[in-house]
A and B are shown apart, each in its own frame.
Chain A
Amino acid sequence: MFAFIVRRLLLAIPTLFGVLIVVFLLLYVAPGDPVQEMVGERADPETIARLRKELHLDEPLLNQFTHYTGGVLRGDFGNSYITQRPIIQDIRERFPKTLLLAGSAMLLASVLGITLGVLSARNPGGWFDRLGLGVAYLGISFPVYWVGLILILVFAVMLRWLPPSGYGGIKYLILPALALGSRSIAFLARVTRSAMLEVLGGDYVRTARAKGLKERVVIVRHALRNALIPIITVLGLDFGYYLTGSILTETIFSWPGLGRYVVNAITRRDLPAIQGSVLFLSVVFVLVNLLTDLAYAKADPRVAYS
């Protein structure tokens, strides 16, 4: 197991290096000039030339790349062009907020999605199943920004139960987590339902029922446990969606997380901020994939890594 983790972490290094190269090249060929963003609407060519030199932007691509990579290897992601603050400090401040939002959305999605799926599978074709199907279609079809705005309109403006936006206690968290998790709830409900249906037809479920176990025990302990593998897969894949979905959700709900930070950085061509954030998110993504694989082994003893 330990050897497996080490091997996977070592394999992550070329992946991250690839990410670094791709992001660097993309930003290099993308139109838009960071220095012009720094100087604002009215500037003189001398100032632009001077700043370009100071930021090493006048050097050949390879020099810029080695300069940046050298910094990253020393743990230095550089400073923001706009605020001149270290990028690592910005990420440290914002990522916990994104993680909180993504984590809450994931929790909400797992609890609601799996419950909905299990209950639907208990009586396929029944009224609850059909209701669940309807909810799932809505959840998958509506984009997150639309769901977000509707949630704000209903719960914050009309009912006044929750604040429309901002960052604070749990009441600020509910609406954005629901918006971000809405697609996942729907998706998980469908996956859980089909996995459960397959499992419920198994011989061991019939055996469990035959020996007189309560239906609840049959479903939770025997059936659900065996339906977990596809559910874990979906949860792991969805985490990537949470990270990208947080960009829209954070903008709509004024949530001060990393998603918004990246958007701001892109609009202002703050190159070190974009590169640093993307690299950081890639690390998170690699780690989540590893955790997903480890969770398979935990859920199914037949899966063993060595």
Chain B
Amino acid sequence: MDPALSTDVPTGRAVAYVFDGLTRFTPDAKVVPGLAKSWDVSPDGITYTFHLRTGVKFHDGEPFGAKTVIYSFQRVLDPKTKGGRGWPLYPIKGAEDFAAGKATDFPGIAAPNDSTVVFTLKEPLAIFPKLLAMPVTSMVPSQATDLGQKPIGTGPWKFVEWKHDDYLRFAKNPDYFDGAPKADSLMARIIPEMSTATAEFEAGNVDVLTVPDEAGKSWQADPEKSKLLQSAPALRFWYVAINVTRGPLADPRVRQALNYAVDVNTILNVVMAGRGTAAAGVVPPSLPGYDANRKGYTHDVAKAKQLLAAAGHPNGIDVELWAATTDQSPRLSQAIQANLAEAGIRAKIVQRDASSVREAARKGASDLYVKEWWADYPDAENFLFPLLHSKNKGPGGNVSFYANPKFDALVDQAHREQDEAKRNSLYTQADQLQFDDAPMIYLFFYKDMYAVQPWIHAFQVPAVFNGQRWTDVTIGK
């Protein structure tokens, strides 16, 4: 549970219980002050000054101050930490050289006094405060020796015990600076098999459960169970990455044909029990930059065939459709395969374990790759930049290997733009540009569904994975 090593969603959630960053997310994905009371940006967008809370102590009594910020960030980047997740701090001047072991200090961070931290960025980056709410940028005490097993933070929950592969237990931090949690303790059960987790919920042993996709429909139809359901759009995006460098897929007409061939709404209803909203672009409807006027590719087999013929493939094409064996990937890939076949696109499904599929896709060895993207922070940039910017080809997240200088320029410009409205308009333009180029089959934005026992109050489904910290939740009839 060491924040510096956290790369997956469950760890990220637990980190948000015990630790604080300078900023944090609310369940509805707003960025609010965390350990920083407020922050100012210089007019050129290069210098960020964070005013820290005073009098905050870690669970072990160590005081939090500006030095903690410097220590925590150096620790994340330090090659000795062997963490692979330093990128949210790379915008800070000198951070990348420090992480590569080329420098022993990085000049972009300074502490003029114990309650102020000043960051100098390489170039203006309006989303910088959002990056500081990620698990990896949490504040850690300098005295702690084993954060992985015994995490110590400033957060609302104190770590009590971790029975590996069984559960994690936390107790409320009565001194939490933002008001102590209303419940006394919090337990996260680790149950790998969803049917078992569902049985635990039905037996009343689990208070809040993420409802598995396959159970969604039957629970919604059950008059008793449907009362317990809560759902909200999540910042999770399902799509099929199209490798634009491979054979016929280099032609945008072919990629558009793929989009016309797939019947997203039917797939959404049948495979996903209606849990999602069909996508028209990569920016989700809940984020600024989304364009409500843009219509997605309709399901139009004739049009798909026509586009294929125009691209010189009247007899269709052969592609490999890669999918992991986990989640809904196998079922989605089968549905997509059947849709594509109607339009004369012969897709061969290649099913491997998640790790192998990802490796192949990052190397550029897959034609099509059914995948999901979980946002790290609530911003259109977190979809446009990692998934489609040419800088991020391969391991960076752009497994479509899409490279469009115009698109890159728009996203780069948005990075530097300080004006919120202008920035969002750049996002909308960039999204439109790539949507026409179709470097992916746009499937849907996922909707999280939770089952909540009647005795649990004030639970809110978080839009971003680490947005629910259980501080307002109460237990009682």
Contacts and interface: CB of A to CB of B under 8 A. Distances in A.
Contacts of B396: 42-44
B355 A43 contact: no
Interface stretch (B47-55, B158-166, B332-340, B407-415): B158-166
Contacts of B356: 30-32
- Of B149, B167, B195, B376, most A-chain CB atoms within 10 Å: B195
Interface residues of A, number: 53
Interface in B336-392: 352-356, 358-360, 362, 373-374, 376, 386, 392
Interface in B190-216: 190-193, 195-196, 199-200, 202-203, 205
A137 B2 CA distance: 49
A9 B102 CA distance: 51
Given A85-B148, A251-B193, A256 B100 contact: no
A90 B356 CA distance: 25
Contacts of B395: 36, 39, 42-45, 48
Interface in B212-271: none
Contacts of A46: 96, 100
Nearest to B6: A40
B276 interface: no
Interface string A232-260: 00000000000000000001111011001
B21 interface: no
A268 to B, nearest CB: 7
Nearest to B374: A41
Interface string A33-68: 101111111111111101100100000000000000
Given A85-B149, A157-B199, A165-B196, A32 B374 contact: no
A263 to B, nearest CB: 8
B99 interface: yes
A40 B199 CA distance: 31
Contact of B392 (A39, A42, A152, A164): A42
A88 to B, nearest CB: 14
B445 to A, nearest CB: 17
Interface string A148-168: 010011001100100111110
Nearest to B387: A42
Nearest to B96: A46
If over half of B's interface residues share one DSSP class (helix, strand or loop), that class is named, otherwise mixed; here it is mixed
Contacts of A268: 355
Contacts, number: 139
A83 B84 contact: no
Contacts of B96: 46
- Of A30, A42, A45, A163, most B-chain CB atoms within 10 Å: A42
Contacts of B462: none
A267 interface: yes
A41 B373 contact: yes
B394 interface: yes
- Of A167, A254, A264, most B-chain CB atoms within 10 Å: A254
A265 to B, nearest CB: 11
Contacts of B199: 152-153, 156-157, 164-165
A254 B196 contact: yes
A54 B84 contact: no
Nearest to B84: A39
Given A36-B355, A37-B355, A44-B395, A164 B196 contact: yes
Interface in A45-102: 45-48, 50-51, 54, 82-85, 90, 93-94
A187 interface: no
A261 interface: yes
A152 B202 CA distance: 11
A264 B353 CA distance: 12
Interface of A: 30-33, 35-48, 50-51, 54, 82-85, 90, 93-94, 149, 152-153, 156-157, 160, 163-167, 251-254, 256-257, 260-261, 263-264, 266-269
5 tightest Cβ-Cβ pairs between the two chains A and B: A40-B7, A39-B84, A32-B355, A256-B165, A31-B356
Given A156-B203, A264-B165, 15 more contacts: A31-B360, A36-B358, A36-B395, A37-B355, A39-B85, A43-B85, A54-B82, A83-B148, A157-B199, A160-B203, A164-B200, A254-B166, A254-B192, A260-B192, A266-B353
12 contacts: A31-B360, A32-B356, A37-B355, A38-B84, A39-B395, A41-B397, A46-B100, A90-B164, A94-B165, A254-B189, A261-B165, A267-B353
Interface of B: 5, 7-8, 79, 82, 84-87, 90, 96, 99-101, 148-149, 163-167, 189-193, 195-196, 199-200, 202-203, 205, 352-356, 358-360, 362, 373-374, 376, 386, 392, 394-397
